[in-house]
Amino acid sequence: MKLLEDRILRDGIVKPGNILKVDSFINHQMDISFINELGREFKRRFSHNRITKILTIEASGIGIACIAAQYFGVPVIFAKKAQSLNLDGEMYIAKVESFTHKRVYDVILSKKFLTEQDHVLLIDDFLANGCALMGLMDIVKQSGAVLEGAGVVIEKGFQKGGQMIRDMGVHLESLAIVDAMTDDSLTFRADN
Ligand code: 5GP
């Protein structure tokens, strides 16, 4: 998506450890009219899917998912990061390894918000090694809902997550795929 690539080139910052910071327009300060265009693009790319819920993970996926949801006309549910303490049987639980914080945590979702009647679209800001999406896919599997696909704003194509998830047969749409990045250059996948 050219609009997104241009904005990343203009305002994205490459940090050590293969981290791309987009916190001036996506995941700290949020440029709402810009993110609105991302939401419209997700709808275009999943226009043939019947979606009943959008599932994301706290925190930075929530805002994007909410804006996208207005195009789909469906609720957003988000998996919460939780302590393992006091979890009862009413929750789906999955383990996620954080790319940015380098630790494993549980994410939970109340069973009452996702059932086998649902058709789910996953949304997140970044795809790196795929742990966040794999955790969400685990929750969808536990619920018996149908996974319609996954939409991410920025895929880091030099990490393994995108390939792994596509190899599982999931309809994955990334609005921009960064194939290489250094302090002063970013290369995007051309045919995306
Ligand atoms: P994964 O689970 O695919 O390894 O990483 C995805 C999660 O890690 C996303 O939810 C995102 O919050 C965070 N993340 C991964 N790479 C980056 C990055 O380069 N920049 C930022 N800001 N977040 C990232």
Q: Answer for the pair 142, 113: CB distance below 8 angstroms, yes or no.
A: no
CA distance 56 to 133: 9
35 alpha carbon – ligand 1 mean position (Å): 18
Minimal-distance CA residue to ligand 1 atom 19: 19
pLDDT of residue 165: 98
CA distance 136 to 133: 5
47 alpha carbon – ligand 1 mean position (Å): 26
Tokens describing residue 138: 């685990």
Pairing of strands 13-15, 19-21: antiparallel
Q: Answer for the pair 150, 83: CB distance below 8 angstroms, yes or no.
A: no
Is the shortest distance between the CB of 118 and ligand 1 below 6 Å?
no
Whether the CA torsion 104, 157, 142, 54 is positive or negative: it is positive
CA distance 157 to 17: 15
126 alpha carbon – ligand 1 mean position (Å): 5
22 alpha carbon – ligand 1 mean position (Å): 11
Q: Which of 24, 104, 125, 156 to mutate to test the pocket of ligand 1 (most atoms within 8 A of CB)?
A: 125
pLDDT of residue 37: 98
Tokens describing residue 53: 């819920």
Per-residue pLDDT of the chain (192 residues; tens, 9 = 90+): 999 999 999 999 999 988 999 999 999 999 999 999 999 999 999 999 999 999 999 999 999 999 999 999 999 999 999 866 566 679 999 999 887 777 898 999 999 999 999 999 999 999 999 999 999 999 999 999 999 999 999 999 999 999 999 999 999 999 999 999 998 889 999 988
50 alpha carbon – ligand 1 mean position (Å): 27
* Helix segments in 86-160, DSSP class H: 131-143
CA distance 68 to 14: 26
Tell me how many helices (H) and strands (E) the chain has: 5, 10
pTM above 0.85, yes or no: yes
Beta-bridge mates of residue 185: 182
CA distance 82 to 35: 28
119: exposed, middle or buried (Cβ count in 10 Å: 0-12, 13-18, 19+): middle
Is the shortest distance between the CB of 14 and ligand 1 below 6 Å?
no
pLDDT of residue 4: 98
